[in-house]
Amino acid sequence: MIPLSHYLTVAFVLFAIGLIGIFTRKNAILVLLSIELLFNAVNLSFVVFSQAHGNLEGQIVTLFSMAIAAGEVAIGLAICILLFRTQKTIDVTDFTDLKQ
Amino acid sequence: MTSLIILSPLIGFALISLFLFRWKKLCGWISVGSLLIPFVLIVQLFMQMQSNPSSFPQVISVPWISIMGLHFELGLLFDQLSILMGLLVSGVGSLIFIFSMGYMEEDKGYSRFFAYLALFASAMLGIVFSNNFVQTFIFWELVGLASYLLIGFWFSKDSAADASKKAFLVNRVGDFGFILGILFLWFLSDPTGVSRTVDFAGLAQSIPTQVQLGVISSGAILLAGLLILCGVIGKSAQLPLHVWLPDAMEGPTPVSALIHAATMVAAGVYLLARTFFIFTISEELLTIVAIIGGLSAITAATMAVCQSDIKRVLAFSTMSQLGFMVLAMGLAGPVSGMYHLLTHGFFKALLFLGSGCIIHAVHTQNLFEMGGLSKKMPITTLTFLIGTLALCGLFPTSGFFSKEEILTLAHGHSMLAFIVVLGTTFLTSFYMGRVFSLTFLGPQRKPSDIHESPFILLFPLIVLSFFSIFAGFFGIPELLGRAAHESHHGTEGNFLALISTGVILFGLISSYLIYGRKTQSQDPLSKGLGPLYTLFERKYFIDEIYNFYVSKIQQPFARLCDITNEWIAIKALSHWTGIVVYQVGNVSRKLLTGNVQTYALILAVQIVVIFTLVVILFKL
């Protein structure tokens, strides 16, 4: 039996990689991918806790979460396409309109 | 209807200054008419009061400001004091207006002059009939403004412009004390703050009660009285705020008559009479009032002796007579003070208008360039003589009766006061004899073509002469509310009258002997009195002392304040605060890159920090 802490360590590492990706990646699609990593890290911990406590609620939440993640990806990709059409780039560092 | 007393001249002022500026003759008539309406109304009120005295005092008022605990009214108060004073102001004022129509005929600013006169009359009537302190103060300031405009009427003349500024500023000094006094009295009227009031009637009721209950200390009353007295001193030109009065002679002569006879300077004494209920409470207060009055009376009289400008002599005599009135107030005789104020209003207006006629004829104000006018201007001479005798207080003129009241009062009080009054009486008769001798008697010093003044100038003189002689027989003290049996005409009164008549005759004759017979281009007194003469002529150097204070003490202090303000408050504090804020902003601006990722990072770091802190602090 693999102990709980191993699963959680994997989830933490996944979450950290996702965060770092969000902050450092310049390509909008890769930022989206990193967000997916966050989702997966959280989903993993849900499943693991569900197993550990012996009920199914965590797994049900995971199913919802995956559905939402699918929707989010669809919207995110649509945004990326629109950005590329209007700005001819999807490099997020080029968008500084929030300044001033 | 009665509010027209104040509004009518104000409307006249507005009409002239807004619409009718071009029609000179019309402006004069409107101005005179707008003051005659109040005169008629006040006469009507006077008749009512005579026939039905129990229905007075009357108060007509409308609420003006009413916020929690703060109630001000605009109102008119009709009682014996205000109606008699109103009669004097509007009556003598109308005569002066009529005189001005002749006197100012050739002046370019004719319409402007009458507009100002109407404003002045309105403000003065406002003071007289006001029923509360706040309204009094408003009109008090309006009188100050109007006098500023009138004294500086010939503003292209530097001396006139300076004089008007001086009058205004000196008055402001007094008025500052006055408004503090009003605020303080308002506070004292009910220290608990439930029913505070600035009404004369309300204050007259509440202040003595509070004092009796011991809520207000005698020190507070003393302070309040002194603050009110500040305003009185400023307006009535008493020591030490008298300096504006001689300079105010730069205005046209009718203005001098208006300001010095019936109105502006009288306002101070009138206020003293109106607020006498405060002064009676404190013995010390009355003593201070008496000392100021007595000192002003005697110093002004000495200054008047050595002036060579006819109007300045009259100005100082006004100050001296006002000193008498204030002295009478201080000796607890408000009726005597007001009595002298009323009679003085007649004969001082007469003297000023007479001097106006003289100046009109000889085109100089220097006494030593006049002389021998009695043959050329008989009516002016006669009326001026009546005014002179009334001012000296010779029987049977009105001045005799009112001065006798004050003399009796002083005699009953203390030897010092009696000597002051008697000494001033002597000086008064001396300098008035001097003016009369130099102007009308002796040979003509400056040969020129001199004629009697036209009728429009003489008419007011004749009317005023009538009142100067006979005002003593009208029973004014009784009209002012004194019971008839209280008047002081016993053997003691006769004795005093004899003494004062002797003193007056001595003054008149000695001045005639010195000035009346020979031709002098210079004052013989200047040799006789030596350095004292210079002291009197230069008005005890009070102007110089004030000048020294302003230029050597106040001005450097102001400059020091200016530098402190410039370099510490502005440059150092506020400037550097600005720089610091600017730089902080400049640095923190860099944080806002507009890059979403940076924002997200900052957010994440903040969350981590907050969670860590929560964990550490609450030991979760």
* Residues of B with Cβ-Cβ distance to A93 under 8 angstroms: 595, 597
- Its ipTM equals 0.82
Of A23, A95, A99, the CB nearest to B600: A23
CA distance B512 to B200: 48
Q: How far apart are CA B336 and CA B407, in angstroms?
A: 10
φ, ψ of residue B138 to 5 degrees: the values are -60, -50
**C-alpha–C-alpha distance, residues B100 and B254, integer Å:** 6
Q: CB distance from B491 to chain A under 8 Å?
A: no
B101-104 own/partner pairs: CB under 8 Å, 24+ apart: B101/B28, B101/B32, B101/B456, B102/B453, B102/B454, B102/B456, B102/B457, B103/B252, B103/B253, B103/B254, B103/B356, B103/B360, B103/B457, B104/B252, B104/B254
pLDDT at position A59 is: 92
CA distance A25 to chain B (A): 9
CB-CB under 8 Å, B594 with A24: no
Query: Is a pLDDT exceeding 90 seen at residue A65?
Result: yes
Verify whether the Cβ–Cβ distance B594 to A96 is below 8 Å.
yes
What is the domain range of residue A85? 4-98
Are the Cβ atoms of A99 and B600 closer than 8 angstroms? no
Nearest-angstrom CA–CA distance, B22 and B16:
9
**pLDDT reported for residue B461:** 85
The single-letter DSSP state of residue B484 is G
Closest residue in chain A to residue B598, using alpha carbons only: A23
Instruction: Average pLDDT across each block of 10 residues of chain B; the chain has 620 residues. List them in order.
Output: 84 87 83 90 88 82 80 85 88 88 82 89 90 89 90 87 88 90 86 78 83 82 89 86 84 83 83 88 87 88 84 87 88 85 88 86 79 78 87 82 83 84 88 84 70 80 85 75 56 76 83 72 68 74 82 89 85 84 88 81 91 88
Q: Which among B594, B601, B604 has CB closest to A98?
A: B594
Q: Are B171 and B159 in contact (CB under 8 A)?
A: no
- CATH code of A64's domain: 1.10.287.3510
Q: Which residue has the tokens 């008022």?
A: B61
C-beta separation of B314 from B348 below 8 A: yes
User: Half-sphere exposure of residue B193, counting CA atoms within 13 Å on the CB side?
Assistant: 2
pLDDT of residue B483: 55
Compare all CA atoms of chain B with the CA of A98 and give the residue at the minimum distance: B594
Q: Does A27 touch chain B (CB under 8 A)?
A: no
- What pLDDT does residue B81 have? 86
Residues of A in contact with B593 (CB under 8 A): 96, 99
B519 touches chain A (CB under 8 A): no
Query: Which of A14, A27, A92, A12 is CA-nearest to residue B599?
Result: A92
pLDDT at residue B521, rounded to an integer: 61
Asked if residue A33 has pLDDT above 80, the reply is: yes
Number of domains in chain A: 1
For residue A7, what pLDDT is reported? 92
Tokens of B61: 């008022």
**Count of residues in chain A:** 100
SS3 assignment, position B240: coil
The pLDDT, as a whole number, for residue B520 is 62
Residue among A93, A94, A97, A100 with most chain B CBs within 10 A, to mutate: A93
- For the cut 60, the answer to whether the pLDDT of residue A56 exceeds it is yes
Q: Is A23's CB within 8 Å of B595's CB? A: no
Q: Quick one: which H or E segment has residue B49?
A: helix B24-51
Q: In sequence order, what are the residues at sequence separation of 6 or more whose Cβ sits closer than 8 angstroms to the Cβ of residue A42?
A: A11, A15, A65
Q: Tell me how close the Cα of B577 comes to any Cα of chain A, in angstroms.
A: 24
For the whole model, what pTM was predicted? 0.76
- State the best of B589, B591, B597, B602 to mutate against chain A, taking most chain A CBs within 10 Å: B597
Nearest by CB to residue B593, choosing from A24, A31, A96, is: A96
Interchain contact A95–B (C-beta under 8 A):
yes
Contacts of B363 (CB under 8 A, 6+ apart): B448
Q: Tell me, what's the pLDDT at A71?
A: 94
Q: Which residue of B has its CA nearest to A26?
A: B597
CB contact under 8 A, A92 and B593: no
The CA distance from B268 to B336, in Å, is: 15
